[in-house]
Structure 1
Amino acid sequence: MPRCYRRWFPRTPRNPPGYCMDRIGDHTVPSHAQEPPSKILTIVVPTTPGTGSDIAARLMAPKLSQALGQAVVVENRTGASGTIGIGAVAKAAPDGNTILFVPNTMAMISSLYTNLTWDPVHDFAPVVRIGKMLVAAVVNPALPVETIGDFVALAKKKPGQLNYGTPGTGTPHHLRTEQLRQITDMDVVHIPYKGSAGAVTDLIGGQVQFALFPLHSVLSMTASGKLKMLATTGDTRSQWTPNVPTFRESGIAGLNNYDWLGVFVPRATPQKTVDRLSRKLLALLDDPDIRKELLARGIIPTPGGPSELATLLSSELDEWRHVIKTAHISAE
């Protein structure tokens, strides 16, 4: 199956504004001129188009190309819960020309798979923390509940009779719902799908009753009445859903609050290269236009350097390892 790419080139007299190159498989079509000789920087995204890491990569790639003075290509390498794309970066040349834009699955996968050929700490150098995304609890509107407390009470009243849908075993949607189950001691049945589309379709259709999804992915469906939103993560109510309480406000403490996005490179990448990439990316995250575009897509910018990202990864490795071990979850 051919991979799809989009390349951006730095603005020069030879490459006018908006110059880019589209490539599908082995067929390359330049927009204006031949490819410049400088080596291309590849942003590997281990998730499908339209996900948070993909959105961030495509928003930042054009300006990153300008900042670095070299062409940038975004490549989605999906499969096996992201292990394929992440593994490709682990094995890439440590020259700063292959970087990983990855969500918080980076902190989950190593506890789900026993045969990984890479380690999230030992094989990667953290570069930048990009931002975070809120998560919403949604139900089929026919379910007789109005709050997350109502849902938990109903699930306890009908143990094993209510289902929740996710894009697959070991996804953040699955693990966070399992964490919620452990916190509340409710008995709900996991129905894994192959991607979000099936899970959302069956939630709307009533085949499953409950799900946790990124807030922005379900806003239009809740506004149209296809889904009912019960609660959101976060320390305070979100700007997008001021009438929906948080889990904490609803009396549920301890639930992981955010999905997050980070940038990593192969561990052996020279420190000066890591520092340069970090400076350039942090400068982009200070750009008002980029911040506005990220926020419009539900990504709350929380720029942080290598140490901040390393601390976040370490903390969440421990948190999700506990959830996975307690529930005896395996993706294999």
Structure 2
Amino acid sequence: MEPEKTIKIAVTGAYGFIGSHVSEILSRSGYDVVRIGKEQFQESLKEAIANCDAIVHLAGMNRGPEQSVYETNIDLAKKLIAAIGTRKPHIIFSSSTQQRLDNPYGRSKQAAADLLKQWATQNGGSCTTLIIPNVFGDRCKPFYNSVVATFCHQLLNGETPTILEDKEIELVHVNTVAFHILRLLQQPPKTGEETIIGEKKIRVSKLLQTLQQFMELRKKQVIPDITDPFVRNLYTTLDSYATGSDRVHNPELKTDNRGWLFEAIKMEHAGQIFLSVTKPGVTRGQHFHFGKLEKFCVIQGEAIIRLEHPDTKEIIEYRVTGPSCVDIPVFHPHNIENVGQIDLLTLFWSSDIFDPTNPDTHPKTVGK
């Protein structure tokens, strides 16, 4: 159920990597989101969070001089508590799996979590601390806090990534974090810890290898198999770092006296889509496939699509006008003829990417 528009949520660090995603998803879900950036946090935090029902505290520092990192994260929690005063909004605090490690960043996150929990206990409020693993996704700053962002940036800029430590890391996509926060806000507030389980544990070397494979497929204008949600999220992250001409692909346009054709989309897991124009009176096809499944989708014009049964030799005709789609079964010789007065525009889907060394296309004229 969509929440009432009057529910007001403050998000600190709202213009950062995680904060921008959280703010957008909460806003799209019907909440009145108060976005608090660094300047507003320092100068007008009390006014900004006034009348807020909940505060998602994402502001923090995770890179820089160790003492500065440690002091900053604790100071942010103290300032937030002071700005809240006697009110009792539900606080959702973004911590990290580093909280359990003995380093300045981890200790600062633990100390901040303790302060916020203490505030909740003493004032009858509630604070949920989220323990979050390594977050990745679009718009994350390279060379800052995500090896995924750094690798994606380097690969798309022709640079050679370097592995400093080939350890196993636990990764979670930024949208997973944002939607977890959304679900927390839809539930009764509580004080305690919640751990967001990562979507994948992977060695840094394997991560880089996967991204490099994406790049090789990208050069061939092939979309990798993205049926696995983690792989999909990793690929969309890489794609988000493409800029300018990297976003433009110019497939080869094949022309002859019949019209033209080009391969529009190739998918490692789902074949390819190509588009053709066939001139009036022209017939395409006259072949069959052993294992390749196809769909002919007439978008514009009038066509007859013919199938010949491999055993009975019966010829089945489908007279179609756009938009209309016809399934082409295996072993059935088939063709498509433009019987209209204008160019025939057809979208074809094939279950396999065309391989010139093994095309699985066998000549056979329908009816002969």
- On whether the aligned pair clears a TM of 0.5, the verdict is no
Q: TM-score, normalised by structure 2?
A: 0.27
- Between Structure 1 and Structure 2, whose CA radius of gyration is higher? 2
Q: Which has the higher helix share?
A: 1
Q: Which has the higher strand share?
A: 2
